[in-house]
Amino acid sequence: MNKIYILTLAISLLSSCKETYRNVDLAGFNDRLKEKTDIPNAEELIKLYYSHSKINSSNHSISVKKNRNNVFLVTLINPALEDDSLSAEKIEITAEKKDQSWKVIEIRESWKCWPGRGHTGWGAKPCD
């Protein structure tokens, strides 16, 4: 009986901590990529997507995982936002490289709110 209770509790805790994301429309970004053959790697791809002043922060991190046949998962985390509601943001891009060009398959965004301003784990619900 105790094992069932512990298992139920563990599943409940894990499912309540599940990250949620907002999917981003790919059309505009993929249109920008059609003519670009000078993006050497997945890290430069996400920098192109995230090309605003925040990327200059030395606090951001980028990780790249190659999943299969030139399909990459690239994650950018910026934990140093100068915002009164958002404390951090995460962008994940799944993209495929064919020859010299990239095609984005999925873009997902999530963020953390400051304590007292909403969720403090990764999620897509707006902060207060």
Q: Could you report the per-residue pLDDT of 92-115, keeping only the tens digit for each? A: 999 999 888 999 999 999 999 999
**Rounded average pLDDT over 9-30:** 72
The number of CA neighbours under 13 Å toward the Cβ of 31 is 4
Contact residues for 50 (Cβ-Cβ < 8 A; gap 6+): 76, 91
**Rounded average pLDDT over 6-16:** 42
Q: Angle CA(53)–CA(88)–CA(54) in degrees, nearest 5?
A: 5
The continuous run of DSSP H or E covering 113 comes out as strand 101-113
pLDDT above 70 (res 81): yes
Grade residue 5 by pLDDT with cuts at 50, 70 and 90.
very low
Angstrom distance (rounded) from CA 86 to CA 88: 6
Q: Which of 51-65, 67-81, 86-100 is predicted least confidently?
A: 51-65
